[in-house]
A = this chain, B = another copy of it.
Amino acid sequence: MIPITLEFETTVITKEGSEPKQETVAIETPFRVALNDKPIGTSMVLPKGLEEFGVGFLFGQGYIEEPGQVKEVYVCPEGRISVYADVEDVQPKEVIITSGCGGTGRISKKMLEGAFGPLSECTISMEEIGQFVLKVLHLSDLGLKTHCIHGCGFWAKGQLVAFYEDVGRHNAVDKIIGAILLGKIPSKGAIYTTGRLTSDMVLKCARIGIPIVMSRTAPSSLGLAIARRAGVTLAAYVRPHRINCFHAPQRIIQK
């Protein structure tokens, strides 16, 4: 097991005085991702769910496109994720560095402007959303301890099927997408993130076909524009019994 937190002694200072305090810090560490032995990039991550991260990272960068392509993933704890996949050799693309957090905070112009494939159609009820959000928040104890972690869950067929955390909100989404590409979970379901829905967050969900994208917080203008273009249901400010739907509310069942 690679450690994901460390304990650190800090000094609390007020006008009245100072005193020592123990804090838990989330570990952020570089991992290099290689595809078929070719180094693609290095990203800072929380070292957990690394197989999924490696695959999701390569999806975000446009190297892997669909489930079934990935053959094997090896994680070397010293900082390397080696993915072997059945893909053609891909050349680097013109990338846009996104405003979002980012293991895969880079998207190609082609991805941003291209057409989207069909989404994996499904619906979710307000009752399910309530269970989903409470389960994700219940599992987010690392976030509560370190205040430096985003959580991301996936709901399919009436239950929580995946939950990942990372220092970067994008990385957490990448881990979910990696799990889809590795065949661990379907894309037919709803994703919920504690992070904001900026352009690349929504883009990668739309590209993999997730029909319902939800956040504890807000979308940006471009995240919203992508959801509208792709026909993705975008729900923001999601609470157990209340959501604020910015696009395609027809997938939300009001019961």
- Copies of this chain, complex-wide, total 2
Q: Does chain B have a CB within 8 A of A177?
A: no
Q: How far is the CB of A166 from chain B (nearest CB, A)?
A: 7
Contact with B along A201-229 (1 / 0, CB 8 A): 00000000000000001111111100000
8 Å CB interface, A1-52 against B: 6, 8, 10-15, 17-18, 21, 23, 25-30, 41-46
| Residues of chain B with a CB closer than 8 A to A10's CB | 236, 244-246
A45 contact set on B, CB distance < 8 A: 99
* A102 interfacial by beta-carbon distance below 8 Å: yes
User: A250 → chain B, closest Cβ, in Å?
Assistant: 10
Count of interface residues, chain A, beta-carbon cutoff 8 Å: 71
CA–CA, A130 and B85, complex, Å: 54
Which residue of chain B is the closest to A18 with respect to CB atoms?
A: B254
- Provide the residues of chain B in CB contact with A168, threshold 8 Å: 98-101, 198
- A241 at interface, CB cutoff 8 A: yes
Determine the chain B residues whose CB is within 8 A of the CB of A8 once the complex forms.
Answer: 224, 246
A2 CB, nearest partner CB in chain B, Å:
12
| B12, B18, B46, B97: the one within 8 Å of A42 (CB) | B97
One of A70-78, A103-111, A153-161, A184-192 at the interface: A103-111
Q: A99–B255 Cα gap in the complex (Å)?
A: 38
Q: Please measure, in the bound complex, the distance between the C-alpha atom of A63 and the C-alpha atom of B249, giving whole angstroms.
A: 46
The contact of A101 among B13, B101, B242, by CB within 8 Å, is B101
Q: Is the CB of A13 within 8 A of B126?
A: yes
User: A105 contacts which of B29, B97, B235, B254 (Cβ < 8 Å)?
Assistant: B97
Q: A100's contact among B101, B223, B252, by CB below 8 Å, is which? A: B101
CB-CB under 8 A from A12, the residues of chain B are 242-245
Q: Which of B14, B96, B246 contacts A44 (CB 8 A)?
A: B96
Closest Cβ–Cβ distance, residue A63 to chain B (whole Å): 14
Most B CB atoms within 10 A — which of A219, A220, A249?
A: A220
- A residues near B (Cβ < 8 Å) are 6, 8, 10-15, 17-18, 21, 23, 25-30, 41-46, 95-106, 109, 112, 126-127, 146-148, 166-168, 171, 196, 198-199, 217-224, 235-237, 241-246, 249, 252, 254-255
Q: Given contacts A14-B126, A105-B105, list 10 more A-B pairs with CB under 8 A.
A: A10-B244, A23-B236, A26-B220, A28-B222, A30-B112, A42-B97, A98-B102, A99-B102, A99-B103, A148-B220
